[in-house]
Amino acid sequence: MHVADWFATLAAAANIPLNKSLTLDGINLWTELVTSKTDTPPYPEREIVHSLDNQAEIYSYSKGQYKYIKGTSLEGRYDYHISQRPKQIFDPREKYYYENIRQSAAFQALQKYDEKPLTNSRMHNLRVKASVQCEAKSLKPDSNCKPLEEECLFNIWKDPCEQKNLGNLHKYDNIMKSMREDVLKLKATAVPPLTGRGSLEYDPSRYDCTWTNYLDIFPKNCDLLYLNLSEYQQHTVFLRRPHLGIRMYSKWDDCWLGHGCMVRPLQDGFDDVSFRGSNEFLTPNIDALAYNGVILNNLYTPAMCTPSRAALLTGKYPVNTGMQHYVLVNDQPWSLPVNETTMAEIFQEHGYYTSLIGKWHLGMSRKAYTPTFRGFDYHYGYLGSYVDYYDHTLLQRNENYSRGHDFRLNLESIHDQTGAYVTGLLTEASVNLIKRHNYDAKPLFLMLSHLAPHSANEDVPLQAPEAEIEKFSYIKNPQRRIYAAMMSALDNSVGQVIGALADMEVLKNTIVLFLSDNGGPTRGLHANTASNYPLRGQKNSPWEGGLRSSAAIWSTQLEKLGSIWQQTFYIADFLPTLASAVGIYLDIGSLKLDGLNLWSALKYGYERVEREILHNIDDIDNYVSYSKGKWKFINGTTQDGKYDDWLSKRIDNSSWDPRSLNYEELIKNTTVWQNLHNPNISPSMMNITKLRQAAAVKCLEKDPALLQKCEPLNGPCLFDLDNDPCEQNNLYDEQHKNSKIVLEMLERVDILRQQVHPMNNKPADRRCDPINYNNEWTCKMPCRSGYFCFLIISFLLGYNDLSFHGSNQILTPNIDALAYNGIILNRHYVPNLCTPSRSALLTGKYPIHTGTQHFVAVNQEPWGLPLDEQLMPEFFRDEGYSTNLVGKWHLGFYRKEMTPTFRGFSHHYGYSSGFVSYYDHTFDVVVGKLLSNIKKYPSDNLIPSHFGMISRLDESVGKTMEALVKKGILDNTIVLLYSDNGAHTVGLYANTGSNYPFRRQKESPWEGGIRSTSLLWSSLLKQRHYISHQVMYAIDWFPTLAGAAGIKLPNNLHLDGINLWPSLNDKHPPQPRRVLHVLDDIFGYTSYMRDNYKYISGTTFNGLYDTWLGELPSQEIHPLSKYYVENVLNSTVNRLLGNKNLLGQHILELRSQVTAHCPRNSEDFNQSIYKCEPLRAPCLLDIIKDPCERYNLARVHSSQMEILSQEERVPQTSYTQCTDSNS
């Protein structure tokens, strides 16, 4: 055990559920302790990190019986067996040791709990076992451990005194290697130590000789500036500007927070920044940033802009957000799913002023897709993929659209800068923002995402100011010359931005990141002459030339400035890494990130943590690209192999930039060098020439005749990137294809494939043509047709409270008309309480799988539907629906993240709790307008009030349908009407609702609590006017309505519900179904059904509600019931539906068939054999023949009973009942 295990172990002992987002290192060993499973060998293998000090380089780690040590403290001062037992000195009480034990207060208090007597012999045996015995034999000279000079390995089970170092014995090489790799992985994920320097300010003499916390002014926040200069290169500057605030902590307690600036160029080639070694044209400011910072030599990105931006902002692989296939084109109505949390949202929530300047390219067809709705406080730039550098328009020729303007401030289109060069505009906007920002009010996050050097429209793809182009007259290719000028303007931008940070004196608290979105497009669509030399492939390919990015990072927090970091890094790692850098805690459990937090490894320069990267799984282009460590696997490719070659070459020195002759002097004279260079770093530690040589990629030097070709359209390829970064030699041959590494990679790809999110890509909508919007690309266009309007009406009524079930006490003509014109769902089931029922509807899962199974969410209790559950409205919102909740929520509201508008609903009008007063809106929540005029019913007569409520509810259904008609969308609407659970006839919160003729009521396992009145209507249904006997449960509506809307749900949702839309739409015969109505381990009862048989074991409230409740007095008949048919035919709903074929006879037939009838009592009914008393023994009921649950068949059908009793525990993969929002 490790001390960290006690948290989880003691929590388990106390039956306290722990939040999954805690990500504990300790494990729960309560069961092992209670059952004594660990008192004798062999012991379960346990990994323990004893010490992992990256600064002092001390590592102590054990796994199972082996312990690994490297380094030690205080130069080995304490590395000996310091303590010894004196042989002659004993406590005088020793000879009466066991008697002393028996007389102790502890023994007297605890002996009553011991099942076996604690004899002297038993105590002696335990004492011997608890004593540690060292080996007595002498050691060989080489067996000692010298941790300052070498790595040591001990078998702690056999050698607990650490006398014999096994690290020098070859037979332990594999164990040493394995433990060494484990330590390397752990090093990379270590959190930086919190310890700080001491200060005389803490001297107790200043505080009345008392150690004390005192009021101190210290940095409250710091700013994060993210400059995105381009899609192919990305600079990030995170500024650490302290803000003053008062806190009761010691001075060194504040975490390091900073401003952040990220600069991202759009698709420059790998070799188009000159710190990689090219002299064709120089990028001195970018190079100065690289040499003064840390060059990220193995940074990988997706191969295209949209997927790359999605990965950066979400911290996830594009395949896990549906962004994997292609870029987002302006006329396509889709986006980064709005349920995905972005980096901007995270920093915004932690107090940063978040800004995006430049390109967005993650959705524009709805406001909800645009930057200021995705976490950015400010956006200046364009929403689409690219624009003309001067007139800021995009011409989409493939659809023959008109030229559309796309440049804006937030959502407002701006034209006052038309004619100005975009690179200059974005630079100027960034500099102005840096200079005007109030750093004392909020920290700053700035992402500068340049257009340069992306090509513009096809008519004039490459554009730059003439004065800039003239600087590169030595370049013979005119297009390449313009490209060099575009890169030069980009380089100047980096200098100006860093200069502005220096002017504001915030650089020392800044992280600057520069990286490229993806490789450059040397040929094909949007080709811009970019060079990815010497790498294979280009943008939109699975090769290194499309995936490997030129990048550098600078911060005063980095320990090894002026170095090259060889660690494999993926663009999704930036979200958790930069969050860690500025002290933001991420809820990893709910975010489900693919990115790793590698801040500690980056900060201290640790390398070679084995990192897997799923570059892509694309089932349209049909290719896979995946790497693990040094190995890379490719199967299939893009564009029929058009980009599979080595497409770039370096020019000879006759076309070199003239400035390259004085390269180092040029670098040292840049704005960036002057502001970032640390004069305390010696020239030997920052040798520009050596860094530049080391940053250049060297291809495999081998006779080409000996290289094995890779033709991914004909078969898989395998590369060793450490030795073959240019992907020249395919190792997927007879020797390797069945090797352990290949088999492991294939298995891993198969696992990742099963988790892939369906692609979000939608076809173009020609209505998005800018000519329809005054030649603007706009986010206001209705870029999708064919939406359904879904109207879900939920209420709390008894089965017999709606008149289409046969009751004549309360008439509901509008709801009845909807039922007769649609589908009556006669076997529709729900959980027996509000919160579990709503949870089931919105998640598509049994409440036992979300922890909501036991009771309702009470206002004073801090829990709710877990935040890691994805809800129905989130998916509909992502498909472009406006998702609205009117009325009750009741799934938790003690944190804003748990409320409707944070769980997928665009708007909420109503109340968050279980109920409110109809008049005074208790808890300051406004009740739904549909029931607001219930006032005319007398408050001193409960039953007439209940009648009035239902009558008003019926009227509201009519008015709602009328509104749909006036809006012209009724024909495209699906209406679902159902009750949350059975009525509360008696007891707490009773409302006299009737579940007649069913047994029991709400909060019970009987039909009266779980069988819900329900109907479905839509003009889109192929079959209507019938009664469906298909067993349905509330969990089925999520996949069913998604199926109706054509929404593909990801496989990793693990829904319990099934899509029954085809069955309902085509009137299929009922299919067999198993339903777990409830499984409650607190009340200790279960209700489970398979087809027509239902199993019940246990009940609620000691059987208080186990009788038949709610039978209506025969004399209470509505006076209009004799005109029932006429009332239905003349109702608002029937008139609106205009169904002249709905005849009175058909209404009466449907009403008769849907009315539930109990079997007549026979003489057998009173016999004890048929009585169901679930507190004494489980019951078996035939719900088809006996819907009123009168006859217990447990003894009659013992074989069936045995089957169901075994099955009812099959679904019990239940969560512990929620007691906190994330549990």
Q: Please tell me which of 105-119, 757-771, 910-924 the model is most confident about, judged by mean pLDDT.
A: 757-771
DSSP reduced 3-state for 572: helix
Q: What is the pLDDT of residue 884?
A: 86
Q: Are residues 1021 and 1079 in the same domain?
A: yes
CA distance 510 to 224: 7
Residue 211 clears pLDDT 70, i.e. is over it? no
- The closest of 261, 331, 257 to 289, measured between CA atoms, is 261
| DSSP H or E run through 300 | strand 294-300
Query: 1163-1177 burial by CB neighbour count: b if 16+ within 10 A, else e?
Result: eeeeeeebebebeee
Q: Are residues 535 and 568 in the same domain?
A: yes
Q: Tell me the three-class secondary structure of 803-838, residue by residue.
A: HHHCCCCCCCHHHHHHHHHCEEECCEECCCCHHHHH
- Of 152-166, 674-688, 742-756, which gets the smallest average pLDDT? 674-688
DSSP 703: -
Task: Please tell me which residue in 145, 152, 261, 305 is annotated as part of the active site.
Answer: 305
Q: Are residues 465 and 329 in the same domain?
A: yes
Q: What is the pLDDT of residue 541?
A: 95
**Does any domain span residue 222?**
no
**Does any domain span residue 878?**
no
Please give the structure tokens belonging to residue 111.
């002996």
Which has more confidence, 719 or 268? 719
Do 824 and 1146 meet the contact criterion of CB atoms below 8 Å apart?
no
Please give the structure tokens belonging to residue 1171.
């009585």
User: What CATH number has the domain bearing residue 159?
Assistant: 3.30.1120.10
**Does any domain span residue 1053?**
yes
Q: Are residues 434 and 491 in the same domain?
A: yes
**Does any domain span residue 1056?**
yes
Do 346 and 584 meet the contact criterion of CB atoms below 8 Å apart?
yes
Q: Are residues 567 and 442 in the same domain?
A: yes
Q: What does R_g of the chain's alpha carbons equal in angstroms?
A: 36
Residue 925 clears pLDDT 70, i.e. is over it? no
**Interacting residues of 422 by C-beta distance below 8 A, sequence separation 6+:** 387, 389, 390, 392, 450, 451, 452
| DSSP H or E run through 432 | helix 422-436
Q: What is the pLDDT of residue 1170?
A: 80
**Does any domain span residue 538?**
yes
Please give the structure tokens belonging to residue 770.
């800018």
- Of 32-41, 53-62, 185-194, 593-602, which gets the smallest average pLDDT? 32-41
Task: Please tell me which residue in 325, 361, 379, 828 is annotated as part of the active site.
Answer: 361
The domain boundary residue, chosen from 754, 779, 802:
754
- Of 64-68, 98-102, 193-197, 993-997, which gets the smallest average pLDDT? 193-197
Inter-helix orientation angle 813-821/942-967, to 10°: 50
pLDDT above 70 as % of the chain: 84
Q: What is the pLDDT of residue 88?
A: 60
Q: Are residues 509 and 626 in the same domain?
A: yes
**What mean pLDDT, rounded, does the chain reach?**
83
**Interacting residues of 939 by C-beta distance below 8 A, sequence separation 6+:** 945
- Of 216-225, 704-713, 901-910, 1002-1011, which gets the smallest average pLDDT? 216-225
**Does any domain span residue 104?**
no
Half-sphere exposure of 361 (CA within 13 A, CB side): 29
Span 704-710, average pLDDT: 92
Q: Are residues 182 and 301 in the same domain?
A: no
880 phi-psi bin (left φ>0, alpha ψ -120 to 50, beta other): left
CA distance 815 to 800: 13
Q: Are residues 252 and 176 in the same domain?
A: no
Q: How far is CA 791 from the centre of its chain?
A: 28
Do 276 and 545 meet the contact criterion of CB atoms below 8 Å apart?
no
Q: Is residue 860 classed exposed, middle or buried when 0-12, 13-18 and 19+ CB atoms within 10 A define those classes?
A: exposed
Q: What is the pLDDT of residue 62?
A: 92
> How many separate domains does the chain show?
4
Please give the structure tokens belonging to residue 993.
């609702």
CA distance 44 to 53: 27
Q: What is the tens place of the pLDDT at every residue in 67-116?
A: 999 988 877 777 877 777 766 667 777 778 888 888 888 888 887 777 77
Please give the structure tokens belonging to residue 790.
């879904």
Q: What is the tens place of the pLDDT at every residue in 831-843?
A: 988 889 999 999 9
CA distance 185 to 632: 20
Q: Are residues 316 and 454 in the same domain?
A: yes
Residue 797 clears pLDDT 60, i.e. is over it? yes
Residue 1202 clears pLDDT 90, i.e. is over it? no
**Interacting residues of 136 by C-beta distance below 8 A, sequence separation 6+:** none
pLDDT above 90 as % of the chain: 42
CA distance 600 to 190: 6
**Does any domain span residue 1029?**
yes
CA distance 521 to 134: 67
Q: Is 361 a catalytic residue?
A: yes
Do 953 and 931 meet the contact criterion of CB atoms below 8 Å apart?
yes
DSSP 1050: P
CA distance 966 to 870: 34
The domain boundary residue, chosen from 707, 731, 754:
754
Domain that holds residue 323: 245-754
Do 1118 and 809 meet the contact criterion of CB atoms below 8 Å apart?
yes
- Of 89-103, 397-411, 545-559, which gets the smallest average pLDDT? 89-103
pLDDT tier, 623 (very low <50, low <70, confident <90, very high otherwise) = very high
Q: What is the pLDDT of residue 259?
A: 66
Q: Are residues 514 and 651 in the same domain?
A: yes
User: What CATH number has the domain bearing residue 1197?
Assistant: 3.40.720.10
Residue at token pair 């069961």: 31
Q: Are residues 366 and 433 in the same domain?
A: yes
Residue 234 clears pLDDT 50, i.e. is over it? no
CA distance 987 to 991: 9
**Does any domain span residue 213?**
no
What are the contacts of 1136-1143 at 24+ separation with CB within 8 A?
Answer: 1136/958, 1136/961, 1136/962, 1136/965, 1136/970, 1137/817, 1137/818, 1137/821, 1137/961, 1139/821, 1142/817, 1142/820, 1142/821, 1142/1025
Q: Are residues 697 and 824 in the same domain?
A: no
- Of 305-309, 568-572, 1087-1091, 1108-1112, which gets the smallest average pLDDT? 1108-1112
Which has more confidence, 913 or 573? 573
Which has more confidence, 1145 or 83? 1145
Q: State the CB neighbour count (10 A cutoff) for residue 125.
A: 11
Span 118-128, average pLDDT: 84
